[in-house]
Chains A and B, each alone.
Chain A
Amino acid sequence: EVQLVESGGGLVQPGGSLRLSCAASGFTFSSYEMNWVRQAPGKGLEWVSYISSSGSTIYYADSVKGRFTISRDNAKNSLYLQMNSLRAEDTAVYYCARESPYSSGSLGYWGQGTLVTVSS
């Protein structure tokens, strides 16, 4: 069974940093592209970042470019999101999501999310 478990969320002050982790199990992690998607309280879904299976290709949404860094450790079956210079508008539940086996453009498996709150 595919499992994605996020951790690392919490309360951080504006301008601060946080590192999110996503532990993957139940599939060959190194074979799949991964993404981070966030959802602000009461709002819709926002794609944040993408990383290829090898880690060689990375994309970011304009809203986080230059502040967030996605990475992965295929030996540890883990995905990461380093978030720097955090702003109030970064407050959201952050989901890690695996590309679907049906179509690489879609997100077939999601974790339950970890809440990041940016507030003084």
Chain B
Amino acid sequence: SYELTQPPSVSVSPGQTARITCSGDALPKQYAYWYQQKPGQAPVLVIYKDSERPSGIPERFSGSSSGTTVTLTISGVQAEDEADYYCQSADSSGTYKVFGGGTKLTVL
């Protein structure tokens, strides 16, 4: 079955830039989406269609795509950004949604 691969953890100091990658063979054909999940809360969509930001999401969140890898970038990280981040896409047919394993962002 199709898989998306994320690093388990990323650590940055406040004010620095955090980059979280997500790799998958179908990413050149399928859009990627990113979700933020804080403990005890439901996920929140922070990036859609690889690089678009929903209204209400801070400008420090951005997304990019290159080949089989997509990247979530958080510029000027703040303490409140500490959370788990999940990429999501679909298999090559577009039928089945798939989530990456998640990346825990720690703000030092």
In the bound complex, residues from chain A placing their C-beta under 8 Å from that of B98 are: 47
In the bound complex, residues from chain B placing their C-beta under 8 Å from that of A84 are: none
**A55 lies within 8 A of chain B by Cβ:** no
In the bound complex, residues from chain B placing their C-beta under 8 Å from that of A107 are: 33, 35, 43, 45, 88
A65 CB to nearest chain B CB (Å): 11
**A89 lies within 8 A of chain B by Cβ:** no
In the bound complex, residues from chain B placing their C-beta under 8 Å from that of A100 are: 45, 48, 54
14 new A-B pairs (CB below 8 Å) besides A44-B86, A45-B43?
A44-B84, A47-B88, A100-B54, A102-B52, A102-B54, A103-B31, A103-B48, A103-B52, A106-B49, A107-B33, A107-B35, A107-B45, A112-B42, A113-B42
Q: Total contacts A to B, CB within 8 angstroms?
A: 70
Identity of the chain A residue whose Cβ is nearest the Cβ of B101 in the assembled complex: A44
22 A/B residue pairs, CB under 8 Å, sorted by A: A44-B100, A45-B43, A45-B102, A46-B99, A47-B99, A50-B97, A59-B95, A62-B1, A102-B52, A103-B48, A103-B52, A105-B31, A105-B33, A105-B89, A105-B97, A106-B33, A106-B45, A108-B54, A110-B42, A110-B43, A111-B42, A112-B42
B80 CB to nearest chain A CB (Å): 19
A contact residues, total (Cβ < 8 Å)? 22
Q: Which 5 A-B pairs have the closest CB atoms?
A: A110-B42, A47-B97, A44-B102, A106-B33, A45-B99
Query: If A102-B52, A105-B33, A108-B54 touch, does A47 touch B96 (CB 8 Å cutoff)?
Result: yes
In the bound complex, residues from chain B placing their C-beta under 8 Å from that of A59 are: 95-96
Q: Which listed residue, B49, B84, B97, B100, touches A103 by the CB 8 Å rule?
A: B49
Report which residue of A47, A102, A106 has the largest number of chain B beta carbons within 10 angstroms of its beta carbon: A106
A4 CB to nearest chain B CB (Å): 9
A35 CB to nearest chain B CB (Å): 7
In the bound complex, residues from chain A placing their C-beta under 8 Å from that of B95 are: 59
